[in-house]
Amino acid sequence: MPEGHSVHRIAGEFRRHFVGKSITASSPQGRFAAGAALISGQRMVAARAVGKQMFLEFESGLWLRIHLGIYGAWDFAGDQSMGAPRRRRLAETEYERAESEPELFPHEPVGQVRVRLLTETAVADLRGPTACEVLTLEEMAIVLARLGPDPQHDDDGTGEERFVSVVAKKPTPIGLVLMDQSVVSGIGNVYRAEILFRAGLNPHTPGKLVPNDVVRALWHDWVHLLAIGIDTGMMLTRDPQVVDGIREKYTRASERYWVYKREGLPCRVCDTHIVLEIAAARKLYWCPRCQA
Ligand SMILES: [Zn+2]
């Protein structure tokens, strides 16, 4: 499942190549034909990511809401003669470059394309989303009100305060609180495990028993890691930017994480075997000694 950083990167792609342009919207697969008709022919005026959801605003004031879920992905392609984006996929966590460029622009839709957004020079195809719907401003406000703060939209610090005060009331284990999109937006399974390890925090600690300054530190770490994720397209949690030359090493999958997908392997700090357990139907990785 894409975590917050990749959705921010997708929104960035839309800001670079689609915002300000007139958009032809269609549903090659047919399932979104009525929705596409509501926005087709309009100018896109904004692209915004909040946590794992993306909102594209059109000039009529309607918004297209997308949640990729587990299987959703966007494919971007462009008319190369016009300096448009090269063909690539933005899904899970990284870019995948297609083996060959499409010969025609726009190319024929391939597979189950729920929605195609087309400008004169760029095309974006969406497949397999959990949610794809057109909302009014009022409906969009309701969706946003249910979402916890996203560090990328916290210029005034209210997101941090909201996070700290909500966690202080939660009897739920902090390992579940961090995954609750109504408490904080964008954290998924990878960032959850890594942030807790970095804090030396036992995932079973009830939210309200986590000291206030530690909760605040969790927020600041998420701010820090999310920015790196948006910048690099990778969930780099071992602070690779600290020393020159180390970033490349830590980008390798086997080196990238402290605990994520390292069950049974020795902890990088204390040599204790990393534990995998199932919490709320999701895999939770942690070190029983560093996070005692
Ligand atoms: Zn350890």
| DSSP symbols for the chain | ---HHHHHHHHHHHHHHTTTSB-EEE-TTSTTHHHHHHHTTPBEEEEEEETTEEEEEETTS-EEEEE-TTT-EEEEEE-GGGTPPPSEEE-SSSEEE-SS--SSSSPPP-S-EEEEEE-SSEEEEEES-SEEEEE-HHHHHHHHHTSPP-GGG-TTSHHHHHHHHHHTT--SBHHHHTT-TTTSSS--HHHHHHHHHHHT--TTSBGGGS-HHHHHHHHHHHHHHHHHHHHHSS---S-TTSSTTHHHHHHSHHHH-SSTT-BTSBPTTT-PBBEEEEETTEEEEE-TTTT-
Dist. CA 121–CA 190, nearest whole Å = 35
Q: How far is the CA of 272 from the centre of ligand 1 (A)?
A: 5
Closest CA to 64 of 94, 111, 92, 27: 27
Please report, rounded to a whole number, the percentage of residues in the chain having pLDDT higher than 70. Answer: 89
Dist. CA 217–CA 103, nearest whole Å = 50
pLDDT band at 247 (very low <50, low <70, confident <90, very high): low
Q: Please pick, among 9, 48, 52, 87, the residue that the annotation labels catalytic.
A: 52
2 is catalytic: yes
3 is catalytic: yes
Tell me: pLDDT of 213 over 70. yes
Tell me: pLDDT of 191 over 80. yes
102-156: pLDDT as tens digits: 568 899 998 999 999 999 999 999 999 999 999 999 999 999 999 999 999 998 9
Q: How far is the CA of 27 from the centre of ligand 1 (A)?
A: 49
pLDDT at 245: 59
Q: Among 12-16, 57-61, 212-216, 236-240, name the one with the lowest average pLDDT.
A: 236-240
pLDDT at 97: 45
Q: How far is the CA of 270 from the centre of ligand 1 (A)?
A: 4
pTM of the model as a whole: 0.89
Quick one: how far is CA 248 from the chain centroid? 22
Collect all residues with Cβ–Cβ distance below 8 Å to 262 and sequence separation of at least 6.
274, 285
Q: How far is the CA of 284 from the centre of ligand 1 (A)?
A: 15
Mean residue pLDDT of the chain comes to 90
Dist. CA 138–CA 64, nearest whole Å = 13
pLDDT band at 100 (very low <50, low <70, confident <90, very high): low
Dist. CA 233–CA 90, nearest whole Å = 10
pLDDT at 104: 80
Q: How far is the CA of 278 from the centre of ligand 1 (A)?
A: 19
Q: Please pick, among 2, 28, 106, 129, the residue that the annotation labels catalytic.
A: 2
